[in-house]
Amino acid sequence: MSSSFFEDDGNWFDEPFGSEESEPSASDAPSLSAPEGVTVVVVDADGATQAEIVNQLGGNIATFGSLPELAARLTGAPVVAVLGPSISDDASLSAASHMLQTHHELGTILIAQELSTSLLQLALRSGVKDVLAAPIDNLQLLEAVDRVGSSLAPVPTTNHTVGSDELYDEFGSSGETGQVITVFSTKGGAGKSMLASNLGVVLAQRSDRPVALVDADLQFGDIAVMLKLAPAHTLVDAVANADRLDEPMLRSLLTTHEPSGLLVMPAPLEPAFADQIGAAEMIQIIEGLRRFCSHVIIDTPAYFNDVVLGMIEMSDDVLLIAGMDIPNIKNVKIGLQTLRLLNTPMEKIRLVLNRANSKVKLDVSEVERTLQVSADSLLPSDVVVPQSINKGIPVVHASPRSGVARALEELANDFISVEGNRKRK
């Protein structure tokens, strides 16, 4: 591809980066290999920082002092913008978010001076595809550019149409329907996302078929951040393609957690997009996934809504997670009553008590008596959990020998048998 993505005024870099005609890299560092037709640019208010990043990318790259400057030059061709540290304030990220909503051809990578969880969350929710902490090494940056550049390739289309069983059978790998497991709690912060992500990772490693994790906490989903993913697509894209959700389409929309192979369908990047997704669409997506996955795990928000009810209804198992404090137990009790009122079969509900260890003053048997359900699993409280979350590494990987990781592995065992079939207690 030889055309410029900019309106050509002669001053700008006018070849997509990676084309044969590009200037050779000035350094010995590995050279940039953005996918064909994708242009790489640098945005930062500070000229010296711009130059430093350009040097790290090792090429002839256009630079901009601000996002509006870049916006004025976009023409629809794919662009990866490396945003320097001056773009990490709230106002700039909000501007980035607006730009990314209208310019689907743009993919962004943010270099942060100091990487905090809140900045990572804000950046990813603004639609930034990857966040790197300064000082960055060249390879890390080049890999990020390559990854984001590849994600700008258009979603592959198939000729297949809607939900026909024959089509699903054509693409389904084994014909065996996967097990759907919803992780739910009526209390915020109970540990749903921690449990869902670790369970997904363990099952993905043990299963001989794909395992998917769907973030149905549509407004404030954390799964992508917890697994340090830079998703190219989210549930919003799945809903947009709802009329052709066969295996190839779903696979093209899922983001792989490379260390485990877990396939993740992240929540929308903007809370506002949650409105576009209803229970019917979610059920369609989960039905599509269970046709080729051995397990589909669903993380949820801390309240009942139509999506959560739909997910619970279609699930084989519901992991109801409760923290070991009185407000948690009170809310979970109300949640259980609601589930009973909704005629949810109690056999599919499994109680997981989180932060259950000797330092907590509540007695497990007392909690079980109050809830009238016995606990399937006890997860101890451990500082390695928040530590691992802050690193974006699931605790089963970050601290595999910890008590909490072992308890999570054991819980996952209940969903795996030698044949890959469901195993129930």
Ligand X SMILES: Nc1ncnc2c1ncn2[C@@H]1O[C@H](COP(=O)(O)OP(=O)(O)OP(=O)(O)O)[C@@H](O)[C@H]1O
Could you say whether residue 207 binds Mg ion (CB under 5 A)?
Answer: no
Query: Which residue's CB is nearer to ligand X, number 135 or number 400?
Result: 400
Query: Which residue's CB is nearer to ligand X, number 84 or number 191?
Result: 191
Could you say whether residue 354 binds ligand X (CB under 6 A)?
Answer: yes
Interacting positions 367-386 with Mg ion (CB under 5 A):
none
What, of Mg ion, ligand X, none, does residue 201 touch, CB below 5 to 8 Å by kind?
Answer: none
For ligand X, the binding residue among 30, 76, 188, 261 (CB under 6 A) is 188
Could you say whether residue 63 binds Mg ion (CB under 5 A)?
Answer: no
What, of Mg ion, ligand X, none, does residue 385 touch, CB below 5 to 8 Å by kind?
Answer: ligand X
Amino acid at position 282, single letter? M
Instruction: State the minimum distance, in angstroms, from the CB of residue 90 to ligand X.
Output: 21
Choices 122-130, 344-352, 365-373, 385-393 (CB under 6 A): range interacting with ligand X: 385-393
Residues in CB range of 6: below 8 A, 6 or more apart: 12, 13, 14, 62, 73, 75
CA 250 to chain centre: 14
Residues in CB range of 190: below 8 A, 6 or more apart: 302, 321, 322, 323, 328, 354
For Mg ion, the binding residue among 22, 138, 193, 388 (CB under 5 A) is 193
Could you say whether residue 271 binds ligand X (CB under 6 A)?
Answer: no
User: At 367, which helix (H) or strand (E)?
Assistant: helix 364-371
Residues in CB range of 105: below 8 A, 6 or more apart: 74, 76, 77, 78, 79, 152
Could you say whether residue 215 binds ligand X (CB under 6 A)?
Answer: no
Could you say whether residue 393 binds ligand X (CB under 6 A)?
Answer: no
Could you say whether residue 138 binds Mg ion (CB under 5 A)?
Answer: no
Distance between CA atoms of residues 299 and 315, nearest Å = 12
Query: Which residue's CB is nearer to Mg ion, number 81 or number 196?
Result: 196
Distance between CA atoms of residues 73 and 9, nearest Å = 10
Q: Give 166: exposed, middle or buried? Use CB within 10 Å, 0-12, 13-18, 19+.
A: exposed
Instruction: State the minimum distance, in angstroms, from the CB of residue 234 to Mg ion.
Output: 16
Query: Which residue's CB is nearer to Mg ion, number 130 or number 222?
Result: 222
Could you say whether residue 389 binds ligand X (CB under 6 A)?
Answer: yes
What, of Mg ion, ligand X, none, does residue 189 touch, CB below 5 to 8 Å by kind?
Answer: ligand X
Instruction: State the minimum distance, in angstroms, from the CB of residue 223 to Mg ion.
Output: 8
Query: Which residue's CB is nearer to ligand X, number 80 or number 190?
Result: 190
Could you say whether residue 167 binds ligand X (CB under 6 A)?
Answer: no
Give the Cα-Cα-Cα angle 199, 201, 204 (nearest 5 degrees). 105
How many residues lie near Mg ion (CB under 5 A)?
Answer: 3
Choices 43-51, 122-130, 272-280, 375-383 (CB under 6 A): range interacting with ligand X: 375-383
Contact 234, 265 (CB under 8 A): yes
Interacting positions 237-256 with ligand X (CB under 6 A):
none
- Ramachandran sector of residue 91 (left: φ over 0; alpha: ψ -120 to 50; beta: rest): alpha
Instruction: State the minimum distance, in angstroms, from the CB of residue 219 to ligand X.
Output: 10
Instruction: State the minimum distance, in angstroms, from the CB of residue 339 to ligand X.
Output: 17
For ligand X, the binding residue among 68, 135, 189, 261 (CB under 6 A) is 189
Distance between CA atoms of residues 224 and 217, nearest Å = 11
What, of Mg ion, ligand X, none, does residue 290 touch, CB below 5 to 8 Å by kind?
Answer: none
Could you say whether residue 386 binds ligand X (CB under 6 A)?
Answer: yes
- Nearest CA to 54 out of 151, 132, 147, 138 is that of 138
39-43 and 79-83 beta bridge pairing: parallel
Does 24 sit behind a cis peptide bond, omega within 30 degrees of 0 on the bond before it? no
Give the number of other Cβ atoms within 10 Å of residue 360's Cβ. 16
Contact 167, 145 (CB under 8 A): no
> What is the contact surface with ligand X in residues (CB under 6 A)?
185, 188-194, 217, 222, 302, 354-355, 379, 381-382, 385-386, 389, 404
> What is the contact surface with Mg ion in residues (CB under 5 A)?
192-193, 222
